[in-house]
A and B are shown apart, each in its own frame.
Chain A
Amino acid sequence: MENHFLSFDSKPFGLTIFLAIVTFQIAYILFQWYYIRRSDYLYYIAYMFAIMVFALSQFEYLLPFKLLSQYSPDMEYYTRHSLPFFSIFLYYRFARSFLDLPIERPSLNKWVIRLEYLIIAYAVLSPLLIAAGIPPEVEDNLFLFVCSIVIISSGVIIYNFLQRSIPLFRFAMTGAVFLILGSIAMIILSKMEELGIDTGVDPFLPLLVCVIAELLTFTTGLSYKTHLMESEKLNVERKLLDEFREKQRLEKEMYAIRDNIARDLHDEIGSGLSKISLLGEVIKKESKVPEPRIDKIIGSAKEMIEGMGEMVWSLNSKNDSLSNLIYYLRRYSMQYFEDSNIEIKFNVESNIPDIPVSSIKRRNLLMVYKETLNNILKHSKATVTIISMAISNNELLIIIHDNGKGFVLNEDDTAGNGLINMQSRMTEISGNVSWKNEGGVIVKMRMPLEYPPFGVT
């Protein structure tokens, strides 16, 4: 039969365009799938491929070469009904995946699966029946029968969808409607052909036209779904970010409250201790004789205030830079030995990076440092002490070397306990402290530093 639409001057004009469109669509979706691994993309490619094979098999006579018929001359005959059904089967698979039907509408999903079984059953059955020698009219009628069932079922399913419409569905519906219209036209035309009416149009033609329309609709639909998934991802990200910020804000508030409580506590206690200290001084002044016990009371009170002053210092976040810490230690050391006859030499490298040091690190390091100086002052009988501070390997390294008599761990464990305490204080801040007897005592303190993530000024 001369096909006027599909050939132009007997050249396969329409078929070429159709094949070109489908090939490009397949390539486009294939590229998309490479980046976005979604199973609905794969089903769609398979569906398009099946359609292409079907079109080729039906209209191969228009082409200048033999494609499929070289494998079997009756290929066209056998696959005449089977191939389109196979592609419809793939289309339904695609639709279910695209619309997330198993999750969104599980009961409807079951019905569509049953329909799919029917479709694939006929797709397999048709060539078998033909091969078995069933007369073509019988097979044709079977084809029309199954077609009607599929069309009616699809109509019911689409109507069911209408009950709860999602925007994504509109794409599905448009495409499906095209297909259904094409199928109906195909059925009508082939029936007419059967009855001998010459329509001048190949029955499969409207199906092909509608397939193209559906392809274009669906590519849009696939992109739309990707867009939806992306914006949902962004929403989730935004929510997480908001939650994180809220958490940070609460943490900050908590720290502020904690610091306020600490400050009030220190103020209260400090005030009381000052009272004790000053009243003690008054008693001393007014008494004509030395009062060693009063001296002890005053001494204890002053020590306590000093200790609390250091705690206040380490809690104060304004003091949290590494350079502040080092300068504080320097001044502390110089003041500590001011009235003694121990000469202090202080070496600090000049470029101290502006890294924050946490409150607990400042506190623990200060305590260990104090204890070390205390040992030197009380027990070492040294005349010179060299204190060096350097930063290397993301660590603060403090080396205190006195030229005293060295230390001996005595029988009563008091010295030992002090050293164990120092070690545990350093371990608590992921650092360590070590002692060596070498021309006096060399104490090495190491404290790891955390560089902020965005670099250091």
Chain B
Amino acid sequence: MIRVAIVEDTEDIRLATAILVGGSQGFECKYHYKSGEDALEKLPFNTVDVVLMDINMCGISGIECIRLLKPKMPDTYFMIFTVYEDEENIFKALKAGAMGYLLKRSSPNQILDAIRDLFNGGSPMSSEIARRVVTTFNPPVSLENQNPHDLTVREREILDFLAKGFLYKEIAASLFISHETVKKHIQNIYRKLQVQTRTEALNKAFSK
């Protein structure tokens, strides 16, 4: 049973999604919050596997909300719930601790698949986001100086394919791995991205 929570300020969308997710086999959607503040207050007290977080809310933004909730809920996956594949905001959310994104126009099956994927360790990535991720990480260094938080060769390969507009199944075929493995690699990439973001923030704080 995957426990899902929804943070979304438009009532109809919130309720509709809750019905679509909660009413499906293997899913439960007991908690929904109509604002980021509400979520910040109540969510940490509830056990939830996946949180669908709207980006554009009045009051505190979804990105900020994720940034504040993630440390309190380390075992929960956060997924950005958005109208467009607005890679600027999605990228910010990913850096703040989100592990994936979902388009509001997705069909119920797509929504459920995405939540399931995320729960099983896989994340989606668009080619625009791939490009951004690549520029955030430093260029590959020699083997001696490799930092465990740097991207591996395989991860860089996958990013490269994604940036060039290849689909998951094409990448899986080229690298002789499965579709799910590609998505697992992506999730690892997001984790490293988050570590890097936190390190940078700490460095900035200490250098002052």
Question: Are the chains A and B members of one assembly?
Answer: yes
Instruction: Choose, from B10-18, B34-42, B146-154, B185-193, the stretch at the interface.
Output: B10-18
* Bound form: Cα–Cα A301–B13 in Å: 14
* Bound form: Cα–Cα A316–B167 in Å: 22
Instruction: Choose, from A145-153, A231-239, A327-335, the stretch at the interface.
Output: A327-335
* Bound form: Cα–Cα A308–B86 in Å: 12
B72 contacts the other chain (Cβ, under 8 Å)? Answer: no
Interface residues of B in 1-26 (CB under 8 A from A): 10, 12-13, 16-17, 19-20, 23
In the complex the two chains form, is B127's CB within 8 Å of A285's CB? no
B44 contacts the other chain (Cβ, under 8 Å)? Answer: no
In the complex the two chains form, is A278's CB within 8 Å of B13's CB? yes
Report A-chain residues with C-beta under 8 Å of the C-beta of B163.
327
Q: Which of A279, A326, A331 is the one whose CB lies under 8 Å from B16?
A: A279
Q: Which of A274, A282, A301, A312 is the one whose CB lies under 8 Å from B20?
A: A282
CB-CB under 8 A for A278 and B12, given A267-B56, A270-B84: yes
Report B-chain residues with C-beta under 8 Å of the C-beta of A316.
88
B30 contacts the other chain (Cβ, under 8 Å)? Answer: no
Q: Which of A270, A279, A313, A326 is the one whose CB lies under 8 Å from B83?
A: A270
* Bound form: Cα–Cα A313–B178 in Å: 30
B92 contacts the other chain (Cβ, under 8 Å)? Answer: no
Report B-chain residues with C-beta under 8 Å of the C-beta of A267.
56, 83
In the complex the two chains form, is B88's CB within 8 Å of A327's CB? no
CB-CB under 8 A for A275 and B10, given A285-B23, A327-B127, A328-B127: yes
Interface residues of A in 96-141 (CB under 8 A from B): none
Q: Nearest-CB distance from A75 to chain B (Å)?
A: 88
Q: How large is the interface on A (under 10, 10 to 19, 20 to 34, 35 or more residues)?
A: 35 or more
* Bound form: Cα–Cα A331–B87 in Å: 15
Q: Which of A285, A328, A334 is the one whose CB lies under 8 Å from B170?
A: A334
* Bound form: Cα–Cα A324–B56 in Å: 26
Report B-chain residues with C-beta under 8 Å of the C-beta of A329.
165
Report B-chain residues with C-beta under 8 Å of the C-beta of A334.
165-167, 170
In the complex the two chains form, is A275's CB within 8 Å of B13's CB? yes
B128 contacts the other chain (Cβ, under 8 Å)? Answer: yes
In the complex the two chains form, is B10's CB within 8 Å of A271's CB? yes
CB-CB under 8 A for A281 and B107, given A331-B167, A334-B166: yes
B75 contacts the other chain (Cβ, under 8 Å)? Answer: no
B105 contacts the other chain (Cβ, under 8 Å)? Answer: yes
Per-residue interface assignment for chain B, residues 82 to 97, with 1 indicating a CB less than 8 Å from any chain A CB and 0 otherwise: 0111111000000000
* Bound form: Cα–Cα A308–B85 in Å: 11
From A348, which residue of chain B is reached at the shortest CB distance?
A: B164
* Bound form: Cα–Cα A116–B182 in Å: 96
In the complex the two chains form, is A285's CB within 8 Å of B165's CB? no
In the complex the two chains form, is A324's CB within 8 Å of B128's CB? yes
A302 contacts the other chain (Cβ, under 8 Å)? Answer: yes
In the complex the two chains form, is B108's CB within 8 Å of A331's CB? no
In the complex the two chains form, is B164's CB within 8 Å of A330's CB? yes
User: What are 28 A-B interface contacts by the 8 Å CB criterion?
Assistant: A266-B83, A267-B56, A267-B83, A270-B83, A271-B13, A275-B10, A275-B16, A278-B13, A278-B16, A278-B17, A279-B16, A281-B108, A282-B20, A285-B23, A302-B105, A308-B84, A309-B85, A324-B128, A324-B131, A328-B127, A328-B165, A330-B164, A330-B166, A331-B127, A331-B167, A334-B165, A334-B166, A334-B170
